[in-house]
Amino acid sequence: MTQNEELLQRCFDGDVNDEEMKNLFVVLCKDGGLRNTFRSLQRLRRDLHSIPVPNVSPALDERIKTLNKYSLLRLLPDRPSLKKFAAKKITMSVPAIAAALLLMVIGSYFAATTIEVTPKPETEYVYVVEMPAYVVQSSYQTIKNN
Amino acid sequence: MKQPIFTDEQLGIRFKNGDAEAVTLIYERYKSGLFLFCVRLLSDHAAAEDVVQETFVKMIAERTHLKNPGSLKSWMYIIARNEAFTQLHRKKGIRELNENDENIFQSDPPLTEFESRERAVILEKMLDQLLPQYKEVLMLREYESMTYDEIAVVTGTTVSAVKSRLFKARKALMERLEPLQKASAL
């Protein structure tokens, strides 16, 4: 694209100031080829706008309507409390990182140390396996007398 | 009763604040242009409808990302454009763009096939054959009257790239239409 062609296009798209417009007018008076290009551009624009425009189908209207209806929840205004929470950032990054490292070191020390567990003293249980017959007899007599 | 006319910025603010009516107003204002942009990019009505719907789904979901409510239109076109390009990639893949490449058409439509048809129909076919990167700038300029800066924002390119692509697209179309013009003059 030459400089004149660029100027011509900008003029065609309404992107020039008065000074540039004057310059282009001078160039157009001298350059027949550029005048032809300008005419072709005008014709092309007319043709482009003569192409039938496809209509938006009622089905699409309905789809957007439904979409809008069911997205009402998503359209609810943001909750300020959540927003405030989300906006919170760790500003003291260096102390935070230092604290995290310290925790890691302490944690690894404890992980490496084996903790000695002292065994609990065994409890002695006395099981009554069999009751002597005289005890049973005497108990029976006592209950009977009472 | 007549509805009050809101500016894009007012609509953008209402939309960002979760006003469901704003979605309807935005859709009503931009549906034709947005749909046309998607149809031309995709050359497929059904796919274009899907893209428009997906654009609104994403807009609603990501409404808090709209930094400047005044640039609502550009933001909406960025989403639609990205969605359309995703579809194009999925469907047939997009040729990597070489700015120095002279041929900006995806394939070569045989002109003789269209000679007997109307000029507008021929032009529409030619538009379909343009590479999407050229098609989008032409659409946004001619149908949406966006400035070079706005087009650069939507397409994620520089202003000079926009100007260059626009010029190449117009030139290529003019060159292809020229024989028809001569034929009709005879």
Reading chain B (186 residues) residue by residue, the pLDDT tens digits are 556 688 889 999 998 888 888 899 999 999 999 999 999 999 888 999 999 999 999 998 888 888 899 899 999 999 999 999 998 888 776 666 677 776 667 765 545 545 545 778 888 888 888 999 999 999 999 999 999 999 999 999 999 999 999 999 999 999 888 877 666 655
The H-assigned helical ranges of chain A are 3-12, 18-30, 32-50, 58-70, 72-75, 80-87, 93-112, 133-145
Identify the band that residue A123 occupies on the pLDDT scale cut at 50, 70 and 90: low
Q: Search chain B and give the residue with CA nearest A72.
A: B20
Task: Answer for the pair B38, B84: CB distance below 8 angstroms, yes or no.
Answer: yes
For residues B66 and B24, membership in a common domain is answered with yes
Query: Which of B94, B121, B144 is the C-terminal boundary of a domain?
Result: B94
CB–CB contact A75 B60 (8 Å): yes
For residues B85 and B168, membership in a common domain is answered with no
Task: Answer for the pair A31, A4: CB distance below 8 angstroms, yes or no.
Answer: yes
For residues B63 and B114, membership in a common domain is answered with no
For residues B77 and B109, membership in a common domain is answered with no
For residues B39 and B125, membership in a common domain is answered with no
User: How far apart, in whole angstroms, are the C-alpha atoms of residue B184 and residue B186?
Assistant: 5
Q: What rounded mean pLDDT belongs to chain A?
A: 77
For residues B108 and B88, membership in a common domain is answered with no
The pLDDT of A44-72, averaged and rounded, is 85
- What domain range includes position B33? 1-94
Question: How close is the nearest chain A Cα to the Cα of B185, in Å?
Answer: 14
For residues B54 and B109, membership in a common domain is answered with no
CB–CB contact B18 A77 (8 Å): yes
User: How far apart, in whole angstroms, are the C-alpha atoms of residue B137 and residue B77?
Assistant: 12
Query: Which of B61, B94, B127 is the C-terminal boundary of a domain?
Result: B94
Tally the domains of chain B.
Answer: 2
The pLDDT of A52-81, averaged and rounded, is 74
User: How far apart, in whole angstroms, are the C-alpha atoms of residue A67 and residue A73?
Assistant: 11
For residues B85 and B36, membership in a common domain is answered with yes
CB–CB contact A51 B53 (8 Å): no
pLDDT of residue B116: 46
> Cβ neighbours of residue A74 under 8 Å, at least 6 residues apart?
B60, B61
